[in-house]
Amino acid sequence: MHGTLVELEIDVPALAGNALGDPSRRTVLVYLPPGHGRARLPAVYFLHGFTGSARGWRSAGLFQPTVPERIDARIAAGELPPFVAAFPDGATRVGGTQWIDAPAVGRYQAYLAEAVVGEVEARFGALPVREARAVVGKSSGGYGALCMGRDRPEVFAHLACHSGDAGFEYCYLSDFPKAAAALLDGAAPAEWLEAATRRARETKLGGDDLAVLNVLAMAAHYSPEPGASLGLALHFALPTGQLRPEVWERWLAHDPVRFVPAALDAFRRLSTVYLDCGTKDEFHLRWGARMVAESLRSGGVEVVHQEYEDGHMNVHYRYDTSLSVIVPRLARG
């Protein structure tokens, strides 16, 4: 590698005392390009997906470079101007975060927009202006990037959402029967999670366990309920499995297909909005991406929207395209 990959441990006040008891001291990987320190550089913040972690960015597929290695090679080849890349950790007891401030999970949006941005700028001299900051994510990280654009346009002027959760009827509904079946014997969400964690430690998660975990994690983000097991309200009734409309509506309020049209003023403040998805995405996310792109365009927001003949997994190559769009637009010192 031509540049340097640094691993930090930072204390995050926004995560202190979170409801899940997850650590407030977090790992952040930071990539520094060759020649770092000669000038103040812009920064791109990368948000991993559900079940991911900061250290996961160091994992490569067969014959494939990691994302930091991809960035390093492109900067060394002169295909991208130099920038700082930061990879914060969003692992949680329920499998991950949607990178929002959720009372049943933690204040992960504040963690990124305040603690991580502040640390990168203070320690590595990244340029401290919104025009020099981008947030990029995939899957749950892509969802988080859209939420940053809605909630933190004063922090980030550029975003990229790769296969982000959107169009909740399409991407989540198929997991609901699996979750209902897993809880049908009367296990509370916290009891099911404890058993699943034990299975994973002793052997591995079962075939439907990830779907159930995903449903519980999304409920913790979208339908919190203080005092309930895991602090969440289930969106289906047992033993019938019937949807509870009053809870499902709370989920839908968090759907980018719904919230983007209501937040166009925030998105108009952004300099770059990039969206992509695979036409064979296993979670049917291409439709949500199309709906969000259409809402943005109709609202006068310039959007770059790409589709790939591919699925949801092992798509790190798509960062080559989004970074080619975003990085040349970043302000420089």
Which DSSP string corresponds to 87-126?
EE----TTS---SSEETTTEEHHHIIIIIIHHHHHHHH--
Extract the tokens encoding 203: 């052997």
Contact 117, 133 (CB under 8 A): yes
Contact 88, 116 (CB under 8 A): yes
Kindly report the pTM of this predicted structure.
0.96
Domain 4-167+256-329 bears CATH identifier 3.40.50.300:
no
Distance CA 177, CA 271 (A): 41
Extract the tokens encoding 183: 């809880």
Write down the domain spans for the chain: 4-167+256-329, 170-252
Q: What is the pLDDT along the chain (333 residues), one digit of tens a residue?
A: 899 999 999 999 999 999 999 999 999 999 999 988 788 999 999 999 999 999 999 987 788 899 999 999 999 999 999 999 999 999 999 999 999 999 999 999 999 999 999 999 999 999 999 999 999 999 999 999 999 999 999 999 999 999 999 999 999 999 999 999 999 988 899 999 999 999 999 999 888 899 999 999 999 999 999 999 999 999 999 999 999 999 999 999 999 999 999 999 999 999 999 999 999 999 999 999 999 999 999 999 999 999 999 999 999 999 999 999 999 999 998
Least Cα distance to 98 among 45, 168, 164 occurs for: 164
Distance CA 78, CA 82 (A): 9
Counting Cβ atoms within 10 Å, is residue 9 exposed (0-12), middle (13-18) or buried (19+)? exposed
